[in-house]
């Protein structure tokens, strides 16, 4: 690998447009070819990511502790949270589904928040530790984030179908909305984060 080849666009005063892939001056705020807004300032990316992350952490709490569904069965009403639903599935012998829901609804959002926080911190401290791995981690985070919406869709299908009056009815809880908003905000956090900053800040060896 030759060192000469490994020069980032940022160092050459250039930037690429994420929408149309054209290359232009790093000082431009809008793309020459397609007119899209570019990462206006490099410092803003980290601030936006932190802001969306904080919002998603706040939403994560009601999403997990408030009931996501109310089940009315023969006049009796029970409520269940996301984790409660996972436990019920496990007890009824649907272990694989319980695992899917646990991974999509609990593990993925939580690890996504931790990963993004770690990435933001390493940009701010100019760390060059495990750079390619961190880039890959970001790519995975960006890719899997959307899949957390599974639980929201499961709830909406259950609510739509199971409407038999007092015999058996499932109603949606506020947690479903909080959860959907949490998924959207973590997606926005991932979109706001600019993975190129990892390399740029490490090249400089200090904070951006």
User: Please, what is the minimum distance in Å from the beta carbon of residue 28 to other proteins?
Assistant: 13
Q: Are 71 and 77 in contact (CB under 8 A)?
A: yes
Asked if 44 interacts with other proteins (CB under 8 A), we say no
SS3 of residue 112 by DSSP: helix
User: Please, what is the minimum distance in Å from the beta carbon of residue 33 to other proteins?
Assistant: 6
Tokens found for residue 36: 């899209």
Q: How many residues bind other proteins (CB under 8 A)?
A: 65
Q: Which of 135, 199, 1, 161 is nearest to 69 (CA)?
A: 161
Please, which residue, 109 or 195, has the CB nearer to other proteins? 195
- Of the candidate residues 57, 97, 99, 110, the single one contacting other proteins (CB under 8 A): 97
Please, which residue, 46 or 152, has the CB nearer to other proteins? 152
Asked if 163 interacts with other proteins (CB under 8 A), we say yes
User: Please, what is the minimum distance in Å from the beta carbon of residue 46 to other proteins?
Assistant: 15
Q: How far is CA 207 from CA 13, 29, 45, in A?
A: 18, 22, 14
Per-residue x/- track, 45-64, other proteins (CB under 8 A): --------------------
Please, which residue, 113 or 180, has the CB nearer to other proteins? 180
Asked if 68 interacts with other proteins (CB under 8 A), we say no
Query: What kind and span of H or E run contains 172?
Result: strand 168-172
With a CB cutoff of 8 Å and minimum separation 6, the contacts of 190 are 49, 112, 116, 138, 141, 142, 145
User: Please, what is the minimum distance in Å from the beta carbon of residue 121 to other proteins?
Assistant: 19
> Which window, 51-59, 107-115, 117-125, 154-162, contacts other proteins (CB under 8 A)?
154-162
Query: What kind and span of H or E run contains 25?
Result: strand 23-25
Q: In this structure, what is the dihedral angle of CA atoms 125, 131, 139, 65, given to the nearest 10 degrees?
A: -50
Q: Which of 111, 117, 124 is nearest to 198 (CA)?
A: 124
Tokens found for residue 178: 């909080």
Residues that bind other proteins (CB under 8 A): 5-10, 12, 14-16, 18-23, 33-36, 89, 92, 94, 97, 100-101, 132, 135-136, 138-139, 146-147, 149-154, 156-164, 167-168, 171-172, 174, 176-177, 180-181, 184, 187, 191, 195-196, 198-200
């Amino acid at each position: 690998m030759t060192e000469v080849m490994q020069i980032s666009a940022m160092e050459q005063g250039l930037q690429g447009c994420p929408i149309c892939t054209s290359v232009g001056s790093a000082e431009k705020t809008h793309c020459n070819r397609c007119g899209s807004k570019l990462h206006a300032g490099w410092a803003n990316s980290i601030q936006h990511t932190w802001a969306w992350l904080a919002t998603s952490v706040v939403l994560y709490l009601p999403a997990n502790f408030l009931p996501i569904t109310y089940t009315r069965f023969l006049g009796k009403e029970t409520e269940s949270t996301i984790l409660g639903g996972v436990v019920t599935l496990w007890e009824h012998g649907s272990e694989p589904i319980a695992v899917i829901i646990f991974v999509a609804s609990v593990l993925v959002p939580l690890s996504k928040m931790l990963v993004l926080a770690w990435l933001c911190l390493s940009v701010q401290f100019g760390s060059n530790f495990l750079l390619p791995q961190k880039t890959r981690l970001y790519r995975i985070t960006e890719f899997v984030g959307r899949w957390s919406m599974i639980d929201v869709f499961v709830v909406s299908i259950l609510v739509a179908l199971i409407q038999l009056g007092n015999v058996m009815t499932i109603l949606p809880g506020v947690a479903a909305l909080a959860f959907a908003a949490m998924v959207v905000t973590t997606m926005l956090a991932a979109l706001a984060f600019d993975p190129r900053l990892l390399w740029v800040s490490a090249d400089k060896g200090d904070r951006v």
